[in-house]
Structure 1
């Protein structure tokens, strides 16, 4: 059940508007005056951060990032240490709010909504990319402070979407991720909220929608939040695992762009199709630091042909060493919701991190080591195992009550430290893991080879859309042209294809519409299709990405039998008798 609601602050609870734009523009100009940039270069730099001469662009670095995030960008053009830049920004805003005593406006309906939620004994918190000192001033002056049980700021817990604040809420207040929802108004907020039971987007106007593509639910006012929570709790009580799907619509260019360029962690990437999932504490994968990040094209030894998006399809088809990829299969439960089955992976050289989810099953993660891209060994991270077992038992208590899943959950509650950080070599499932590994590679090979064939044919031309980060090559599959696309996608169809490829071919045998978009700037390809009945959909995305995947160390590895003996539970067994999906 949902027990806590965590909110973003700026643009969600507090309506800053001009009061925020003025000091932001002033402090940006102050810092840039200390750089060696020309006036024209300063203007371009400001635009790259989302700052014009008169206002702040929504969802930009300045609007959605923390003060530290902003300072790191400034550090590229300033001869100043990071700490000094952070202090300059924070002090400037602090002095502004001390001298400007005007009341800070609150979004319409916020007070009534918070009062209603408090009366129902919900835990209420704020996690913001602002700093603690500024956050407290704003909450006090707006009158919001008394409603909240927890305030998490970027200087205390790091900037979103990292999960440190959620960890503190769980440790200090006993609330698990699947007992929380997060409400925000930006793409970063939705990435952050995807770690909880649901990421709820607040869209006060149409412009906000383009930043909320990853939202699980969208509300247009605070009057809609309490009814939505009631609906969520009703779904949970019925043990139904449902993911909302928007009505069939033509995806706008802006939405397609946002699909590519949101700065989300790979943990989020693992969960973006499954609002109920909480496998987010694994140390198997981690974001690369800004210092460690390199040119992904150079890292993957890729040279693209300028103006030719097919060259990116070729490059991704060649299986680059640093990439993320995934496919979602969506099947309608009713007019409003879809059940989602998802296969995703992250590749870091010879290491792969696979993530699988499906309705009414325990989500699985698998660490696979390869030799020149060929399957070598597989492991189950014990931290992921603890999280997924807890999630499965919480979502489907009737299904897993009295099984090894419940026994392990109870053991892990008391002994998590002793089994954390292990990699379980489950010989019972090696063949299954290798099959899954082969399937995700077959998905990439099938889709990329057929997209290449389609776009090399005469007449199948992209529309080029100009964006802030470069050209987006966009192709819309409509009722008028879908037969041409369908013909190519079904070429080579036979019973020898892998199970996942056959599932894709079955979808493409229907009437459908959708879109394909390619960004050569970011190395991303996205495909989204919905059948004409609105009952099935497919989402596919592959992109260059540098994410660190842990390598197996001898002291970490333990066999399935050794793990069973350690916990005193036969959790892993030959597949025909196993109670675990792992």
Structure 2
């Protein structure tokens, strides 16, 4: 979306000024935005000047993520800044309390690229995901797991209302007269019935389960690869100290080692093969550790594109929807008059296909 502008270049990634994370997400001068901030700012959409004279909707009462600050601080107790890989060990041991964000960049010409990202907040067996794609509309969803199996899936109606309003605000030429505007109008007429409600999916969306599995695999892969790389003799001791952390550069000595470790571990993750194409040789970047925040960041850029990734120890509470807050899929379709969730997903796919 237009107000989420990412800036990626080798110079930025190699610059210490962007630390403690290598993610640079600029919105009116703001940098190093966390997954939680990214999600909360998107679902608290500013929606002035919506089409015609319709009253703008507000999603300020959307999902609220409450951080247990004291508990978050406790998560980094085992981290020893003099032994950098202890940060990764702490993250691996406490992954049930993490937030993460990964963005992939694919060069389409000398000066343009496509990007897509996924971010999540995890509260033990509950994940809240946001999917962003420079070619199409965002999507958010929540998954509840049991023994690592997806048992329930929810869509926030507040999220849907915010996305519809944002689409009409930012690109009215595309969305006025579509199902997006239809839903916006219905939501205005039924605000009291829809606010702070969720739709529970009748069946788990296979695409959402794929996102979950790829995300879990990518987290494990990244943590294993970077932990091994940090302990390699050519890397250990080369970090540059910065405020609250340390940065390790991927240079002519350390980059081939990184590529070798990636290749060794990649065989165990066939589901990540399309994503791991980014990890060819000849790229530049860095790995950043923030010991105070409990955050690991990676940024690399090569001839074909780049990747920005970070994972942070944070203990958030994601409240499960109550019975009073829930619509079944059938109830929601009956109230709205059409299946906006299915239509929205179809529109996302069509926009992406048209852009390719």
Q: Which band: TM-score by shorter chain?
A: 0.7 to 0.9
Partner of 2:52: none
Given the superposition, is the C-alpha separation of residues 468 and 403 from structure 1 closer, same or farther in structure 2, using an over 3 Å criterion? closer
1:506 aligns with 2:282: no
Partner of 1:293: 69
TM-score (norm 1): 0.50
Partner of 1:460: 235
- State whether residues 266 and 286 of structure 1, in contact with CA within 8 Å, keep that contact through their aligned partners in structure 2: no
Which of 379-388 and 539-548 deviates more? 539-548
Larger radius of gyration: 1
- State whether residues 304 and 312 of structure 1, in contact with CA within 8 Å, keep that contact through their aligned partners in structure 2: yes
For structure 1, list consecutive stretches of 5 or more residues without a partner in the other structure: 1-177, 179-196, 200-215, 217-242
For structure 2, list consecutive stretches of 5 or more residues without a partner in the other structure: 24-29, 48-57, 350-356
Partner of 1:443: 218
Partner of 1:283: 62
Partner of 2:258: 485
Corresponding pairs, count: 331
> Aligned-pair distance for 1:408?
1.0
Partner of 2:295: 524
Matches within 5 A, 1:367-378: 367-378=142-153
Matches within 5 A, 1:383-462: 383-395=158-170, 400=175, 402-462=177-237
TM-score (norm 2): 0.79
- State whether residues 404 and 580 of structure 1, in contact with CA within 8 Å, keep that contact through their aligned partners in structure 2: no
What secondary structure is seen at the aligned counterpart in 1 of 2:340? Answer: coil
- The CA distance in 2 between the partners of 1:543 and 1:462, in whole Å, is 23
> Aligned-pair distance for 1:496?
6.1
> Aligned-pair distance for 1:359?
2.2
> Aligned-pair distance for 1:524?
0.8
Deviations 1:236-266 (A, max 9, x none): xxxxxxx554564552323213669989675
Deviations 1:25-75 (A, max 9, x none): xxxxxxxxxxxxxxxxxxxxxxxxxxxxxxxxxxxxxxxxxxxxxxxxxxx
CA RMSD of aligned residues (A): 3.5
With a CA cutoff of 8 Å and minimum separation of 6, indicate the structure with the bigger relative contact order. 2
Partner of 1:565: 334
- The CA distance in 2 between the partners of 1:332 and 1:396, in whole Å, is 24
- By percentage of residues, which structure has more strand? 2
> Aligned-pair distance for 1:310?
1.3
- State whether residues 245 and 338 of structure 1, in contact with CA within 8 Å, keep that contact through their aligned partners in structure 2: no
- The CA distance in 2 between the partners of 1:339 and 1:349, in whole Å, is 32
- State whether residues 13 and 300 of structure 2, in contact with CA within 8 Å, keep that contact through their aligned partners in structure 1: no
Partner of 1:329: 104
- The CA distance in 2 between the partners of 1:477 and 1:523, in whole Å, is 21
> Aligned-pair distance for 1:331?
2.6
- State whether residues 118 and 130 of structure 2, in contact with CA within 8 Å, keep that contact through their aligned partners in structure 1: yes
Deviations 1:320-345 (A, max 9, x none): 22211110012345555543201110
